[in-house]
Amino acid sequence: MSAFSRFTPLVQSLPSTIPFVGPEAIERQRGRPVAARIGANESGFGPAPSVLSAMGAAATGIWQYNDPENFELKQALARHLGTQPANLAIGEGIDGLLGQIVRMVIEPGLPVVTSLGGYPTFNFHVAGHGGRLVTVPYVNDREDLDGLLAAVRREDAPLVYFANPDNPMGSWWDADSVVAFARALPQTCLLVLDEAYGETAPAGTIPAISALIGMPNVIRTRTFSKAYGLAGARVGYVIGTPETAQAFDKIRNHFGMNRIGTAAALAALADQDYLADVLGKIAASRKRIAGIATANGLKPLPSATNFVAIDCGKDAVFARAIVDRLMADHGIFIRMPGVAPLNRCIRISTGPEEEMMLLEEALPKVIESLGRQ
């Protein structure tokens, strides 16, 4: 018996994939270090000094397991959000939580509705649990709420994924539209409302906690990876009814959280002044990226996130060439959406001014070189 045949038929049928190729892999492939890491939607502004101090203090206790109940972090989050600890579950970033949500709801063959070109890691988990993806195209570079609702009803889908604000386009819907969408869904369908970029969104985008907290078929996912600058710490959480939150205890890795990451999240919540400062820097950097794009004949799309999607005005081949040449010739790491027609765009994360200066210098050279080909 070969080692391969020991795997389940589902695992045997799946390709070996990584939803996102990281800058480290690109460095290894190209033999060139990344000079500007503005492609992964991390926060190049980093965490607060108070957070770094808390992480250092926590490091001395790293020989201990983290509290498997995540009691202190749930208490702090509940106070911050204006809800109860029972409405929360903690996990290893939104990516880990999405895998648990799919596992709780989806059996092989069941339909799962999402947007065509939306967050690929969610699709990865659906495939890994044998679900059948049903995708709805974007309309005007924005997730189609009416289309998603129609697909749920048509397929009798038990799960639908909707990110607000959206990755990879940076678009967003207002809170009233989000709540109306949630209320229109059948009670048999669980809505995953991904709010990873909630902190960077304009006022009126994120529904109040009270607007959705009593709905058993809504689960909201949030993270410390973006505005708080803790992508490497892997700290995420969900907001739902107590029954939904408690369901995670049946399947989660109870020792999955690490003590340093938990200490970082607690300190980040306590330092809202630093968060406000970073949000100002993100907004300024979005304008900087938009200005650089416009100066080079490209069209920046409105963004409620910590990145800007830029319409390159041609096709995916041209957009891919910009991505590849920026890295190969200048060490600037950016990404692009993976599905047409979104893949006519590139996507650039906000970051410190020194990285924006590198982009400003390199982009016209790349576009000029491509025009000569």
Q: Report the mean per-residue pLDDT for the chain.
A: 96
Same topology, domains 9-46+273-367 and 49-271? Answer is no
Angle between helices 272-295 and 49-59 (to 10 degrees): 120
Q: Specify the pLDDT at position 274.
A: 98
Each residue's pLDDT tens digit, 80-131: 999 999 999 999 999 999 999 999 999 999 999 999 999 999 999 999 999 9
Instruction: Determine the topology of domain 9-46+273-367 in CATH.
Output: Aspartate Aminotransferase, domain 1 (3.90.1150)
Please state, in angstroms and as integers, the Cα–Cα distance from residue 316 to each residue in 313, 339, 341, following that order: 10, 9, 8
Please state, in angstroms and as integers, the Cα–Cα distance from residue 46 to each residue in 50, 287, 295, following that order: 11, 19, 28
State the CATH class of domain 49-271: alpha beta
Q: What are phi and psi of 61, to 5 degrees?
A: -100, 15
Q: Specify the pLDDT at position 59.
A: 98
Q: Specify the pLDDT at position 4.
A: 54
Q: What are phi and psi of 146, to 5 degrees?
A: -65, -40
Q: What is the DSSP letter of 208?
A: P
Each residue's pLDDT tens digit, 90-101: 999 999 999 999
Give the separation between CA 216 and CA 63, rounded to whole angstroms: 38
Q: Is the peptide bond before 337 cis (omega within 30 degrees of 0)?
A: no
Locate the domains of the chain by residue range.
9-46+273-367, 49-271
**Cβ neighbours of residue 1 closer than 8 Å, sequence gap 6 or more:** none
pLDDT interval class at 20 (50, 70, 90): confident
pLDDT interval class at 1 (50, 70, 90): very low
Give the separation between CA 241 and CA 93, rounded to whole angstroms: 20
Q: Specify the pLDDT at position 288.
A: 98
